[in-house]
Amino acid sequence: MLEIKNLRKSFAGFQVLKGVNLTIPKESMTFIMGGSGTGKSVLLKHIVGLLKPDEGEIWFEGQDITKLSERELQIVRKKIGLLFQEGALFDSMTVFENVAFPLVEHSRMSSKEIKLKVEELLQAVELLSAKDKFPSELSGGMRKRAALARTLALNPQVILFDEPTTGLDPILQITIMELIKKIKETFKLTCVVISHDLILALKFAEKIAFLHEGVVVEEGDPEKIRHAAHPFVRKFVESALLDKKFETKEVEHEL
């Protein structure tokens, strides 16, 4: 589905990606994990062509995205959506107008058809009641859901999520991830999720890839990651699971 080969990128002499190799299977939920500043978001921006690599290839539907012109990339971007960390909703538009925007731009639908489609999408993300609100009036979770509805509007095949649960409380994190899972199954999507949260990854991912020092050091299903041999991944897993134990004990103690 998506194949990343030997991707390298430097900023001002500092090499962020040092030869990333990764395959993302079709209609899967793949988590890309790693510490802060390891280039996870940089990798996502390469996949949608917002950044050009210094070296390497990204193959999607038989073409190397890194070699495409801006005009050719526009066709690819209708098939690959990106959900930004803060949603990147247009703050001068209501939720309805935000979700309708890609349809107005790219479809030949009538305004009545657009209205129906937008309402259907907002229903899917459980946000229909907030359709007339502006982004500034929404909570963090609502903004992410509105942005998800907007991303879904063009019927993409792949959606990239840049830390979709960051800044949300644990209950909302699970709600958002369950929503992503539901939407993935409903729309038969390939989902790529950037996250720090290993617990969520172990629960929802079908594949997890660990990015460390600019390369993928470990990849596989959650079970393989749980028993990974790489020292960094091991430490990451142990820390996350230890935190989880502490949380569980504290809750038990409080109860």
Tokens linked to 141:
């979770």
The string over 161-191, giving b where at least 16 C-beta atoms fall within 10 Å of a residue's C-beta and e elsewhere, is: bbbbbeebeeebbbbbbebbeebbeeeebbb
Residues found in the chain? 255
We find the least distance from the C-beta atom of residue 58 to other proteins, in angstroms, to be 15
Residue 84 binds to other proteins (criterion: CB under 8 A): yes
Task: State the Cα–Cα distance between residues 130 and 218, nearest whole angstrom.
Answer: 41
Q: Which residues contact 178 (CB under 8 A, 6 or more apart)?
A: none
Q: Which is nearer to other proteins, 46 or 212 (CB)?
A: 46
- Which position among 74, 123, 129, 155 is part of the footprint of other proteins (CB under 8 A)? 74
Q: Select the residue interacting with other proteins from 101, 134, 187, 232 (CB under 8 A).
A: 101
Stretch near other proteins under the rule CB under 8 A, chosen from 74-82, 117-125, 189-197, 238-246: 74-82
Query: Which CB, 81 or 164, lies closer to other proteins?
Result: 81
* Contact flags string 143-162 toward other proteins, x per CB under 8 A: -------x---x--------
Residue 18: burial class (beta carbons within 10 Å; 0-12, 13-18, 19+): middle
CB burial of 206-245 (b: ≥16 within 10 Å; e: otherwise) equals ebbbbbbebbbbbbeebeebeebeeebbeebbeebeeeee
Of positions 88, 128, 172, 241, contacts other proteins by CB under 8 A:
88
From the CB of 104, what's the least distance to other proteins, in Å? 10
Binding mask 29-68 for other proteins (x = CB under 8 A): -------------------x-x------------------
Q: Which residues bind other proteins (CB under 8 A)?
A: 48, 50, 70, 74-75, 77-78, 81-82, 84, 86, 88-92, 101-102, 105-106, 150, 154
